[in-house]
Amino acid sequence: MKKLVFLFPALILTTLAIVFTLSSLKVCAAEVISPDGWAWQNPLPQGNTLYGVWGTSSSDVFAVGDSGTILHYDGKEWSAMSSSTTNYLHGIWGTSSSDVFAVGDSGTILHYDGKDWSPMNSGIPNRLLDVWGTSPADVLVVGYQGSILHYDGREWSAMSSGTTNYLHGIWGASSSDVFTVGTYGTILRYDGREWSAMSSGTTNYLHGVWGTSPSDVFAVGYQGTILHYDGKDWSLMNSGTPNRLSDVWGTSPTDVLAVGYQGTILHYDGREWSAMSSGTTNYPRDVWGASSSDVFAVGANGIILHYDGKDWSAMSSGATNYLHGIWGASSSDVFAVGANGIILHYDGKDWSAMNSNTTTFLFAVWGTSPSDVFAVGTYGTILHYDGKDWSAMSSGATNCLHGVCGASSSDVFAVGYEGTILHYDGKEWSAMSSNTTTFLFAVWGTSPSDVFAVGTYGTILHYDGKYWSAISNDTTYHLYAVWGTSPSDVFAVGDSGTILHYDSKEWSAMSSGTTNYLHGIWGTSSSDVFAVGAKGTILHYDGKYWSPMSSGATNRLFTVWGSSPADVFAIGSHGSILHFFESAPTWTCIFHDPVRDTELRINTDDKTFQFIAPSYDSGVREAARMRVGDTAWGQWILICHRDSEIWFFAFAIDSERGICLAFLRDRQNRPWDR
């Protein structure tokens, strides 16, 4: 082991300048961020499907949805709330702003006391779909397999429903007059003692129920079904739509709204139902309002709509096209491509649409600089961006192109359907012989003579500068992405959680810990690799193990790319763009030696430090021991630290003329310039 002394010769104190606090990134209050630091950038405020909405007023509205999502609206903006669960939440209701219930998968029941959400014991594992009540001590929940639970203010208990059909919606006129609806036209009524079945006259699934009185109740469901109860019988109403309706709500017998599939919103004026313009084709799942001129609807892809009594307008924003490819020249110059020719650009603050001049599906994007970017897609489409405009290139191919990558602006590869491989020499695209007819999904390389392509049925090809040849491996799963750090450190991902690694000799399987399909892979080093896939899956590799990260998303993620370990993007279905970032640490003091170009950063509050020298960075570490005291010259700081990589000692005096002695010993014997 080498003993290295930085900043100062041993036992000699040197005077140094002090550089003060580094500011940390301010996070917008409305930004929705997962526990592991992945923030939604599109759609906004987030893209998980929302299933339920309810509030106490126009400035106190809650919405719930996929992956434990809970949003709150304060009259100005929507913000995320911590639910402490990743289970899907389907229904929400309360008696006040400090007494709110949310229900969801696996028997999940959460309660909000005005400050925090906390789990309640439901006593059952079934999916719970809706909640309603009359008071804090009289709450009902319905769900799968005919589940009905009652809360008396102390505990939840099961009720006998007399059915195993799924129950989707619940509403009542009083504690002794409650209706619930579900699959196969099921309608049950509670009289305060027991539940009994009612004749609905339909076998269509019913999803929502609401009314103004015991003799004025509406139920909605599949195929545009709307039923009305007049106190005696349920009768079918003419909805004028074949679309599935998911919920119903209103303010009076002559002001009722129903929402459903393909952006359907209907209004009932006491005589007939008529269609309203929602301005979207997304699927509203639930509707609730504070008044007839203050109504909220939420649904698929995080859509949030608001009605002011005249028009519906979107409160959520962003493209919902599928996004398949991402690449950037820097953290403030990023391109994302996808369905219908969409190309989005990120300038470090916002995503904006670019004119692609095409409506074809674009699957991948890659470039060498901000003015030399390639995008590929269906029907042999290849586009080029010169820093000003996107223009079509002649590919000579008609097959779908799914991947693009290169070594320079005059050495670019594109791969696709039926073993298609194209090469660009800076002037024109020409076909290469791949010796396969399998679908190639991705291409990546370290040099013009070391290029990998992967595809269906475990296909892995390698190009040595002259020929493409197959590399054998032990999987028959489809492989969707390939990336590496060197010819002897290459990763490929695919179906059923497949991750393969290549060490320049052979491909071997890695344990991913998931069976979800993995579609994208990228990293900054051999010990900092990200893989993304179905159901919002994000995995991270630290050089030893793959571990899951909480993405906060449920949409399928197709690709991942970043500019650094602390600046990573993942994109996917329904316009999903997630951004992983780490704000710069805040340092109490920084000691810098301009002669040796070394720096010691210290935070005495959280007892962390970072030591930087030419070609070496310790990273931010929590000191094993840090002591702080006062002297006549200023605050003194003593650091003693030992871990698996380094031994570190430092003594510093934080004053107008900083004094510091530092000693570091590398236990791994890793080389760096001294």
CB 451, CB 440: distance < 8 Å: no
For residue range 206-215, list pLDDT tens digits in order.
999 999 999 9
Residues 105-109: what's their mean pLDDT? Answer: 98
Q: Which residues contact 377 (CB under 8 A, 6 or more apart)?
A: 337, 341, 358, 360, 361, 362, 363, 364, 383, 400, 401
Q: Any idea which of 116-120, 279-283, 629-633 has the lowest mean pLDDT?
A: 629-633
Residues 629-641: what's their mean pLDDT? Answer: 87
If DSSP states are collapsed to H, E and C, what string results for 546-572? Answer: EEEECCCCCCCEEEEEEEECCEEEEEE
Report the C-alpha gap between 526 and 544 in whole angstroms. Answer: 10
Q: What is the amino acid identity at position 291?
A: S
For residue range 218-243, list pLDDT tens digits in order.
999 999 999 999 999 999 999 999 99
Task: Give the closest residue to 384 by CA, choosing from 402, 399, 362.
Answer: 362
Residues 147-157: what's their mean pLDDT? Answer: 98
Residues 560-571: what's their mean pLDDT? Answer: 96
**63: confidence class by pLDDT, cuts 50, 70, 90:** very high
Residues 280-299: what's their mean pLDDT? Answer: 97
> What DSSP character marks residue 585?
P
CB 390, CB 376: distance < 8 Å: no
Q: Examine the pLDDT at 41 and tell me if it is beyond 50.
A: yes
Report the C-alpha gap between 118 and 178 in whole angstroms. Answer: 27
pLDDT of residue 15: 28
**668: confidence class by pLDDT, cuts 50, 70, 90:** low
Residues 133-150: what's their mean pLDDT? Answer: 98
322 vs 591 pLDDT, higher one: 322
Q: What is the amino acid identity at position 191?
A: D
pLDDT of residue 12: 26
Q: CA dist 576 to 441, 559, 621, Å?
A: 20, 11, 33
Residues 406-420: what's their mean pLDDT? Answer: 97
For residue range 436-476, list pLDDT tens digits in order.
999 999 999 999 999 999 999 999 999 999 999 999 999 99
User: Which of helix, strand or coil describes residue 521?
Assistant: strand
Would you state the CATH architecture of domain 323-496+561-580? Answer: 7 Propeller (2.130)
Give me the sheet containing 226-229, strands edge to edge. Answer: 206-213, 216-221, 226-229, 234-237
Instruction: Confirm or reject CATH 3.40.50.300 for domain 52-253, answering yes or no.
Output: no
Q: What mean pLDDT value characterizes the chain?
A: 92
Task: Give the closest residue to 323 by CA, choosing from 376, 362, 355, 357.
Answer: 362
Q: Examine the pLDDT at 54 and tell me if it is beyond 80.
A: yes
Q: Examine the pLDDT at 192 and tell me if it is beyond 80.
A: yes
Report the C-alpha gap between 107 and 156 in whole angstroms. Answer: 11
CB 637, CB 628: distance < 8 Å: yes
> What DSSP character marks residue 349?
S
CB 127, CB 143: distance < 8 Å: yes
pLDDT of residue 656: 66
For tokens 């530092």, the residue is: 662
Residues 396-419: what's their mean pLDDT? Answer: 97
Q: What is the amino acid identity at position 189?
A: R
Report the C-alpha gap between 455 and 443 in whole angstroms. Answer: 9
List, as own/partner pairs, every contact residues 594-600 make where C-beta atoms lie below 8 angstroms and the sequence separation is at least 24, other chains included: 594/17, 596/6, 596/7, 598/6, 598/7, 598/662, 600/7, 600/650, 600/652, 600/660, 600/662
Question: What share of the chain has pLDDT > 70, as a percent?
Answer: 93
Q: Any idea which of 323-327, 380-384, 417-421, 593-597 has the lowest mean pLDDT?
A: 593-597
**667: confidence class by pLDDT, cuts 50, 70, 90:** low
For tokens 């590869």, the residue is: 413
For residue range 474-521, list pLDDT tens digits in order.
999 999 999 999 999 999 999 999 999 999 999 999 999 999 999 999
Give just the sign of the alpha carbon dihedral 44, 47, 48, 50.
positive
Omega of the bond leading into 614 within 30 degrees of 0 (cis): no
Most distant CA pair in the chain, distance:
96
Helix (H) or strand (E) holding 233: none
Residues 60-84: what's their mean pLDDT? Answer: 96
For residue range 567-593, list pLDDT tens digits in order.
999 999 999 999 998 766 788 888 888
Report the C-alpha gap between 625 and 311 in whole angstroms. Answer: 62
Q: Any idea which of 367-371, 382-386, 642-646 has the lowest mean pLDDT?
A: 642-646
219 is written with which tokens?
Answer: 């139920």
Q: Examine the pLDDT at 673 and tell me if it is beyond 70.
A: no
User: Which of helix, strand or coil describes residue 108?
Assistant: coil
257 vs 670 pLDDT, higher one: 257
